[in-house]
Amino acid sequence: MNRFDFIRPASLAEAVTAAAVPGSVYLAGGTNLLDLMKIGVTRPERVIDISRLPGLDRIEWLPDGGVRIGALVRNADLAYDTRFATTYPAIAEALLSGASAQLRNAATVGGNLLQRTRCAYFQDTASACNRREPGSGCDALHGENRLHAVLGWTEQCIATHPSDFCVPLAALGAVVEIQGVEGRKDIPIENLHSLPDATSARESALLPGDLISGLRLPPEAAAFSENARYVKLRERASYAFAVVSAAAMLDMDGDTIRAARLALGAVAAKPWRAHAAEAALVGQRATREAFEKAATAALADARPSGDNAFKITLANRILVRALTLAHEGTPKVMPALPASPFPEQHIPAPKGDLHVA
């Protein structure tokens, strides 16, 4: 690990000014950054510790019916907040399906949004990676790529975004608050993460010094609380990143779908909001046929980036499963293994406040 300066600012403004200097990174929970520093992927010259900045560790219910989550709120604290878990159950389920309890106690929601890809070639400094070293190439293209992107990829980068949390956030239209050298700005989460283009593998819309200070969920997101699920397929039962995942939320009028919110995870360099699939469900009866048509629409542009055509089939099936479970209703008690696609883990859904065991 290289030598670096360690700075602990006393305010947001001081933090942004310090981080605008080239070679700077922010440190909050450190659950991603410290790992990357240890293996030499990230070699910052200045580490800006924001973990003690005041006012960023609060969950605030807004007058319009929405909610604001400070960037330093811990993943576990958010998932176990009873009011939040009841209002946005798919987000709680996604949070509890990620990492281990110890990591969830340390990780922050702001850091979760910006966690970097788990692509093995990105994490191996002997491999070519345009994310780590722009212009060096992408060894994943002709390497071990069965878990890589099937949507939105280019030959610059075929990596996927690893977050569970971001998937239901994208489905519900979360807005990310950014504090930068030019003041505050709001970015829809759909625009926060960048897809690779023909020449660049840039990861996000953030500029040097930009700091996520919080995120907001709009008041209309609460309308999906009674029919909301997050489903994650992983290679082992827990503590693993998704092979594919899906968030499905329905606003029902009897057995007719009034509105739908859908997003896929682990299929692209960003959480993938499925707008066409949402539109295909509006006004339809909640049937398996309707869910299968929506899944087909969601993956209409999918194509393998290597040895991963199977991910397209899996993503289709996981979205159908997520829709089926959402239609059955949000469980009153969080499943023993959150986000599991397997039916024996599913607890039928009597109405009422969600209880996180």
pTM: 0.95
Contacts of 153 by beta carbon, 8 Å cutoff, 6+ apart: 195, 196, 268, 269, 305
- Which pLDDT does position 343 carry in this prediction? 59
Average pLDDT over residues 98-106: 94
State pLDDT tens for residues 171-186. 999 999 999 999 999 9
> Would you say 267 and 259 are in contact if contact means Cβ atoms under 8 Å apart?
no
> Would you say 300 and 264 are in contact if contact means Cβ atoms under 8 Å apart?
no
117-125, long-range: CB < 8 A, 24+ apart: 117/159, 117/160, 117/161, 117/162, 117/269, 118/162, 118/241, 119/148, 119/159, 119/160, 120/144, 122/41, 122/159, 123/36, 123/39, 123/41, 125/39, 125/40, 125/41
State pLDDT tens for residues 2-15. 899 999 999 999 99
* Interstrand relation of 272-273 and 256-265 (parallel, antiparallel or unpaired): antiparallel
- Residue % of the chain over a pLDDT of 70: 96
- Which pLDDT does position 25 carry in this prediction? 98
Specify the amino acid at residue 324. T
List, in order of start, the domains of the chain with CATH numbers.
227-341 (3.30.390.50)
Of 254, 304, 244, 250, the C-alpha closest to 277 is 250
State pLDDT tens for residues 237-252. 878 999 999 999 999 9
State pLDDT tens for residues 312-348. 999 999 999 999 999 999 999 988 889 998 755 444 4
